[in-house]
Amino acid sequence: MTPAARISAAIEVLDDIIRRRRPASDALKDWGLSRRFAGSKDRAAIATLVYDALRRKASSAFAMGDESPRALVLGMLAGLRGMEMEEIAELCSGENHAPERLTEQEARSLITFDLAAAPDWVRADVPDWLWPSFAASFATEVVAEGQALAGRAPVDIRVNRLKSNRDKALRDLAHLGPEQGAWSPDAIRFLPGPDGRGPSLQTEPGFFEGAFEIQDEGSQLVTLLSGAQPGDTVIDLCAGAGGKTLALAALMQNQGRLFATDLDSRRLAPLHDRLARSGATNVEIRVPRNRGHEALSDVMGQADLVLVDAPCTGSGTWRRNPDAKWRVRPGALAERIKDQAEVLARAAKLAKPGGRIAYITCSMLPEENDGAVEAFLGKHAGFAPVPVAEVLALGQGNFALLARFATRFGLQLSPSRTATDGFYLACVERGA
């Protein structure tokens, strides 16, 4: 496919996403299945065009004066990729599957691409209904935070301490251009290429051998700072596919008891193979028999640490899921707040006297972060917040600089602040 034909395809896929309010991955998959002539490079290029257009959906629509899929793609080419109007016009010939020629209005908009009068939420590419919450977290830095969330994300891996170390992994992966992570002692980073994609790490021998797992450095950090120690009894209460479970097992050096569970048992399925590859031997997966069944009834009040990777709106992962921010609706935030209260109440029953709960979200919204912790403390008088300085001191590294990003109860990471996904961590401790 020609570059122009790829742009036409991206407009077509984007129309499907917006019109049917469906995940971008589903629309791209269906497009590829129905057009077998498109090779893997074509599909990758089209996906990057689509995701880039979604990253800048609000700002492109404002600058172009049009919310159509065509306007969003053309606006992205100018606003994100820095293409001149003449370059874009050459791609829009209307011939051989290329987009139709530019209108006079489109040409003027691409020349000026003016956001000077745009509201802050537009310049930040954040949904307007979420803007008050988002702004409450970042004050004067809020537009820069939104713009960072609209950028492309790197690919990070966590070196598995049970099987390797970072120096060895850097040597083994040198052909892929790795960089040492800035914060986590186990992190290695790969920057996206011109096509917006990172290297194919899941085909590397080290991946099959369990030497590393793909995991954002922010996710690694909040797990490190949860304070898990060798010999502890630890519960990963919302384990999902087990990324943090595996990190906890490595931190605990396979010593102690580590339980992994999730209310949605289907999400636990990938964890079995990942555990076998990782060399973790202290993990016990607890699968609920049905909704409402407590799979951890025999360890109530025994946990040194309960890690709660809470369900949330996922605003901190918008770099990786740019379509998600435009599909989330106000009712979803209220539902997630309810879910967070329920899972924290469940965690409270599992923590022993002197034990702690590490509450984690991948959210940038205060209602899901400090707000959830405040609500929990108001209902559970036996718990108290752990000072951020104490949390940072438990992280098996020098994390004092992260104190700059402290909130009332916890710590807020973000692409602009820490060059990670947007993660929040707060720890609360049960009285002895």
Q: What are the residue numbers of the active site?
A: 362
Cα distances (angstroms) measured from residue 228 to each of 5, 132, 324, 393, 400: 52, 35, 32, 12, 18
Phi, psi dihedrals of residue 259, rounded to the nearest 5°: -105, 135
**CA angle in degrees (0–180, nearest 5) for 184-385-401:** 30
Q: What single string gives the DSSP state of each residue in 265-332?
A: GGGGTTHHHHHHHHT--SEEEE--SSTT--TTGGGTT-EEEEEEE-----GGGTTT-TTHHHH--HHH
Is 217 buried (19+), middle (13-18) or exposed (0-12) by CB count in 10 A? buried
Q: What single string gives the DSSP state of each residue in 120-166?
A: HHHHHT--GGGHHHHHHHHGGGHHHHHHHHTS---EEEEE-TTT--H
Asked whether 188 and 169 are in contact (CB, 8 A), the reply is: yes
Q: Is 370 annotated as a binding residue?
A: no
Q: Is 114 annotated as a binding residue?
A: no
Residues making up the binding site for S-adenosyl-L-methionine: 262, 309
Residues making up the binding site: 262, 309
